[in-house]
Amino acid sequence: LPDEVKTTELRICEDYIASTWDIVEELEELIVAMEEMRIELQRSLEEESAKGKEIFRTTEEREDEPKSRRRSSMTEPPLALPQIQIPTFSGKLEEWDTYWGPFSSIVHEQDLPVLRKFAYLLSTETGEAKEVLGGFQFREENYEVAVQWLKKKYAREEVAIEQLYRKVEEAYAKDATTAAQRKLLDDLSATMMQLTTKGQNVNHRWLLSTIFRKFDATVQGKAIAKRAKLQSLEEWNWNKFQEHLEEIISKQEYIERSRQAINKEENPIRRKTNYKKEGPSNMP
């Protein structure tokens, strides 16, 4: 067949797949939404009743509370914020950015004694980095030398970028469950964001196709259906693809949560029905 005919037929197939998935999704949502409305109404009534009881109870307790205690509670100092934990660095290139950013902000750029900075630096190093820094004498003049050595060895942009691409290639979902698909999407999104911040073009067709093949058949089918609705394939970039994947997986998560809620609400009703039919147990 001529290429023009093939393209037309492919477009027709994609449109058909898109319309089919739309019908399936609409039916799933309708079934879940109808039952969820009933459950939500019942839950809202129960919550309002509980809130009313809580307000009444709190009001009574407040009236009984001594005035001196109220004054002391008003003058209590605010809670202290927890200390920020400085991350550690083992010598892996992919850890450098997430390590040096916080360390530089919390320690390196602060007005602290140099030896204290050096002590913090040594205490946060593990593995290969710790072994190498162990060769530096604990002296003020060696702190900047050690910092520059770390930057020269580990702040290597081209190697970090290569490792990020490798992370994309090696990413996989352990199974076809929605939870596994969600973890895969979150991992890939984090890696792609890092590539973007490092100035990489993440819209290459081969890169998007590589990511597409990592998801299960159901997600792939729905992603194709969404892509078929685009005016042009030129619109299919990473941001749009990520948006589609997020919508698909979020909808699957919503349906699963709704089904669990429905089953949870139905089980007590079934137990009560069975109890009425069978009567109470004659166990002593």
Average pLDDT over residues 142-161: 90
Helical ranges in the chain per DSSP H: 3-64, 67-74, 96-103, 114-123, 127-133, 140-154, 157-170, 178-197, 205-212, 217-228, 238-278
Q: Is the pTM of this model over 0.85?
A: no
Q: Is the dihedral of CA 171, 175, 177, 179 positive or negative?
A: negative
Q: Say how far apart CA 273 and CA 4 lie, in whole Å.
A: 63
CA distance readout (Å), 206 to 63, 166, 212, 260: 69, 14, 10, 38
Per residue in 219-275, pLDDT tens? 999 999 999 999 988 899 999 999 999 999 999 999 999 888 888 776 665 555 555
Q: What pLDDT was estimated at residue 270?
A: 58
3-state secondary structure of 268: helix
11 vs 117, more confident = 117
CA distance readout (Å), 70 to 55, 74, 158: 18, 6, 61
